[in-house]
Amino acid sequence: MIKLARIDDRLVHGQVAFAWSSALGIDCLIVANDKVAKDEFLKMTLGLAKPANAKLLIKPVLEAAAFLNDAKSKNLRILLLVNNVKDAYALASEVPEIVSINFGGIRGKDGSRLISKAIAVTDEDIAVIRQMLEKGLELEVRQVPTDKKQMVESLL
């Protein structure tokens, strides 16, 4: 069962490993990212940041979707992590269980603008966000579980 689907460009780090995992009783973190799935060094470093009591699976986006749709994943309490809006939308399009997406952190880059203290989006991201909203997905911003939810559409 997916307890949280989160966009965070740092993927696995302290907030994820400790605040979110313990608040949600997570026993499996899934990083869905095509590049990271092929990079042994990145996989090793993410493995060092995970909570000791949780599994870490790192899969390309479409393989992650297939795993999440498989009945075997339903007994796990999953924190799903992606590092960009496009991958979040791809997963939400393939996995009916994803009805809400948490925006945790997207650092600024050329052509982006801040919509909250930790979320910077490009025009391309905004177009994808609008598609997600049209699909009926809940899109919310919270860095940690104790933060008050801010709805993404109110920040655009």
What does the pLDDT look like over 57-112, one tens digit per residue? Answer: 999 999 999 999 999 999 999 999 999 999 999 999 999 999 999 999 999 999 99
Least confident of 11-25, 26-40, 53-67, 107-121: 11-25
The CATH number that applies at residue 106 is 3.40.35.10
Confidence of residue 16 (pLDDT cuts 50, 70, 90): confident
Residue 13 annotated as catalytic:
yes
Assessment of whether the complete model's pTM goes beyond 0.75: yes
Q: What is the pLDDT of residue 10?
A: 95
- Among the residues of 40-100, which ranges form H helices? 40-49, 61-69, 85-94
% of the chain surpassing 90 pLDDT = 95
Find where tokens 């609008």 sit.
130
Tally of structural domains, the chain: 1
CA–CA distances in Å: residue 7 to residues 13, 70, 72, 92, 156: 13, 22, 24, 12, 17
Q: Are 51 and 18 in contact (CB under 8 A)?
A: yes
Is residue 18 very low, low, confident or very high in pLDDT (cuts 50, 70, 90)?
Answer: confident
Tokens of 65: 């979707």
At residue 17, does pLDDT exceed 90? no
Among 44, 10, 41, 47, CA closest to 29:
47
pLDDT confidence of residue 14: 84
Contacts of residues 83-86 at CB distance under 8 Å and 24 or more positions apart, as own/partner, are: 83/7, 83/8, 83/9, 83/10, 83/11, 83/33, 83/36, 84/7, 84/9, 84/125, 85/7, 85/121, 85/125, 85/128, 85/129, 85/132, 86/124, 86/125, 86/128
Closest CA to 69 of 84, 59, 56: 59
Given the residues 13, 43, 77, 86, the one annotated as active site: 13
Range of the domain at 34: 2-154
3-class DSSP state for residue 141?
strand
